[in-house]
A and B are shown apart, each in its own frame.
Chain A
Amino acid sequence: MRRRVFKMYVNYEKEEKWLNQMAAEGWHCVDYFFGRYIFEKGEPGEYTYRIQLLENHLKHPDSVAYLQFLEDAGIEMIATYVRWIYLRKKTASGSFELFSDRESRITHYKRIMSMLLPIAIVNFVFGVGLLGNPRPINLLNLAAACVLAIPILSYYRRMQALEKDGIIRE
């Protein structure tokens, strides 16, 4: 049995949580493309899902080697979206975390931030008409900047918490 769901996430951690909630109910995501998720009915909790933003594009030798490694490790890539990869692993084969230390978690947040921040700033600048838009305020750009500000703030808070921990422990 298959099911199609349309949904938009700006925060990948919320998206990941939702995919795992769906998996716990026996709906396993098998494909994603721009807000469209395909789920297949299976055993509840059979898979654990993770989402990652790669440093390089998918064809880059480093990405190719990484994807091969994931395959070796029994991790299945169900979808890619720009530099985002959607991964799952059988829950029975052990816990599935992409990052096992603080530093690498922070690096991943930084990578996402360096992608989102410029887009948010450009939208904000256009939104408030700083670059001489015909209209004094461009609401669409301003809305986009506000929407992007939500995950940016959330990632920023998580990074700060991780950095604070780092004073005591690795």
Chain B
Amino acid sequence: MAAEEKGALTEAVFYILLALHEPRHGYAIMQGVQELTSDRVTLGPGTLYGALSTLVEKGWITAHADDQNSRRKDYVITDLGRSVFQAELERLEELLTHAKLVQGSEKV
């Protein structure tokens, strides 16, 4: 992974990659994320599609035409996308561990 790709993922990208662990079209991604977060994260259409085309360009997800409707595109995460997502999970876990460590020692 290039150095510039080591930063934090945006919340939109994080949830899109999570939703695309199984193939989904645009509206299904939006609904999936909304359900998972109990409506806290509602991806704007412009935000969602901007992120999708960037992620396709980066090779983190792939797009192919939907079987039922050729105007629709199905997206799914790639191996590269999975490794980026895994690295992000490790980063987030580290943040949590550090926060708990400091806050825990404060209370003692």
Contact = CB atoms under 8 A, between A and B. Distances in A.
Contacts of A55: 53
A62 B53 contact: yes
Contacts of A100: 12, 41-44, 47
Contacts of B45: 66, 69-70, 73, 75, 98
Interface residues of A, number: 25
Contacts of B48: 69
- Interface SS, B side: helix
A101 B30 CA distance: 14
Contact of A104 (B12, B26, B30, B71): B12
Interface residues of B, number: 24
Question: Which of A64, A69, A72 has its CB near the most chain B CB atoms (within 10 A)?
Answer: A69
Given A73-B27, A99-B44, A101-B11, A68 B50 contact: no
Contacts of B53: 55, 62
A69 B69 CA distance: 11
Interface string A69-86: 110110100000000000
